[in-house]
Amino acid sequence: MRRATALFAALLLALLFSTMTHLTAPKANADDCTGDWAIGIGGLGDNTSSIFAPYVNQPVGYNSADPMSGLNELDRLFWQHRNDCPGDHIRIIGHSEGAGIVHAWVTAHQDVDNANAILLSDPKRDAGPGWAGLSSTPGSGIIGYPLAGVDDWFGGFPVLTVCNHDDQICDTSAGWWGYLFGGAHGRYDFNVWDYGDWDSGVWYR
């Protein structure tokens, strides 16, 4: 357990330091009321959320070494679009750290309607199937809110959680081999339009 905690802390610190030189945010897009609008937020090192840029209307630009900056920017972009286009359905998709940020945002906004979320490799995923995500491990508390802790407190907000069984980030029973060498962490469908507006539950593959 101590070795796992030390590995987690070392990996986290390495990733945090590696992000500090890549902090250019994507330009905020002008809001178009299209009826169905999407926001995407990437994980550690993806400060421009480029992994979602081809598929969403608005990638979230943030300092991924500072998760609160991602939560605040996601919140700003969501409400800006909701105010400009109150009739639009809003999809929110996140990967890894970004999924954890979306998870925390939804937990705090369970009563928001006409929106849904897709969480890819969510470190805050609660157990079942498999074990809980990386935010459940000893030592994860050092990262604090919004990434610390696991839960499934989504209320009536439609949330689809997608976790590969060999991805340590969302299932700590997997071990690190799949994450480090097996491509488990990148083996997701990042196209937000391939998911339904009201999909919910857990897809565990």
> What pLDDT is attached to residue 9?
39
Percentage of the chain beyond pLDDT 90 is 80
Average pLDDT over residues 159-174: 98
Instruction: Give the max Cα distance, the chain.
Output: 51
Average pLDDT over residues 121-150: 92
Record the pTM.
0.86
Cross-strand bridge partners of residue 125 = 151
Tokens matching residue 162: 């997608």
Tokens matching residue 131: 């074990």
Write the pLDDT tens digit of every residue in 50-91.
999 999 999 999 999 999 999 999 999 999 999 999 999 999
Percentage of the chain beyond pLDDT 70 is 84
Mean pLDDT of the chain: 88
Q: Are 135 and 96 in contact (CB under 8 A)?
A: no
Domains of the chain (ranges plus CATH)? 34-204 (3.40.50.1820)
Task: In whole angstroms, give the CA distance from residue 68 to residue 70.
Answer: 5
Element (H, E) at 163: strand 159-163
Q: Are 118 and 93 in contact (CB under 8 A)?
A: yes
Task: In whole angstroms, give the CA distance from residue 119 to residue 137.
Answer: 19
Task: In whole angstroms, give the CA distance from residue 161 to residue 138.
Answer: 23
